[in-house]
Structure 1
Amino acid sequence: MSTTGGHGRVQASYDTVAEEYRQRIGGELADKPLDRALLGMLAEEAVKNGAPVADLGCGPGHVAAWLAERGAQVVGIDLSPAMVEIARREHPGVEFRQGDLLELPAADGEFGAAVALYSVIHLEPAELGPAFAQMRRVLRPGGCLLLAFHLGTEVRHLDEWWGHEVEVDFHFLELEAVAGQLTDAGFTVQARLERANHPQEAETLRGYLLARRD
């Protein structure tokens, strides 16, 4: 999988913070009722259709495990080998793979649904279209995709994260611009949501898009 350039820096940064990320973020869904509701819908649909769910940018695997606990068959995919190692350790009943959003390690039409929570924010603007094409490729026709990202136009660069030296950019995205790129990639956007941050989160406005593969 491609880890050159910026992706190599993103991978190295997440490898560096992986264990602390798990400790700080691994229980986040307990305080995120909207996320749970959206993920619950995704899990319900996946169970009904008998198709696995992809968690794209799964980190330490907590979202994948939450979906699996609700009866879904889940495959977590992350760029960071350290994150994948932790996810496998913490959630041995769930399958995890290492891979890049631009070259997903999955077969055509393997999944009935996919979720990508704050993973596309590390892509360059020109990479969003190819990433969405990959997501469409691995989804079955009619498959559901849930995206979440920070809203805005800024690029926030970190050289230090929780006391660790890193080199990673966070790209804030505009809701309608991303919706348009999903449409161009062969999705039909079915829902748009915005919310303010929870007290324990970074102070950013959050956007969600729910789309279906045409």
Structure 2
Amino acid sequence: MKPTHPTGRTLGVLFLLPLLTYASGSGILSTVFDSPNYLSEAASSTHWVTTGALLVLANSIAVVAIGVLCYPLLAKLNKRIALAYVSARIIESVLLLGGLISLLALLTLSEAYVKAGGLNVPGFEVLAQLARAASFRAYQLAMLFLGLGSLGFCHLLYRHQLVPGFIALSGLAGYALLAVGAVLELFGFAVGVWLSVPGGLFEVTLGVWLLTRGLPFPPGSGSPARPAS
């Protein structure tokens, strides 16, 4: 059995966390803010919104942790790709947090709307639409950076045989489709959800593999292959 780096299983957990954090957190927030009467009802769902926001925040922390933990491992193989990957993960996290802040602004707006007696003031609806649009664009940009920034990561996984080839190749395809889907969404084509499925399946598969098998990096012994310049 090949010796493994202890960080590998931690990374496995972090890659699986979105199943419990962002997916459930964004689902809760969507339940509140996708309601036709969200301006009048969101103010009464503060606890749900807070729960969803904390889950999304946990995901953003996990995203940065993935980049930070991967950097010293990938840097032994290719420093430029390692830097690009950790940078993409940090940018993804910041953008997701920006989108979260925009949604939380809807909660404040809802509270003001209720205090105003639910008056049909155009300004409330305009501000709400701006907040929702900002959250949507922040998310799509986050997926664009994630997709593009992870291509090199998958290339290193494949080139240095850190995981089975089919997993690494599925990651290359999945992240490329994710980036394409994000661009299309920004141009008004609602296909991003479908094009994000392969990338999501890759992260689940990679997470399970790392959790059960680890990374073939003997602790403190460098990389399993000759580093790229």
Q: Between Structure 1 and Structure 2, which shows a larger proportion of helix residues? A: 2
| Higher RCO structure (Cα 8 Å, ≥6 apart) | 2
Same fold (TM over 0.5): no
Bin for the TM-score computed over the shorter chain: under 0.3
Q: Normalising by structure 2, what TM-score?
A: 0.26
Q: Normalising by structure 1, what TM-score?
A: 0.27
Larger radius of gyration: 2
Q: Between Structure 1 and Structure 2, which shows a larger proportion of strand residues? A: 1
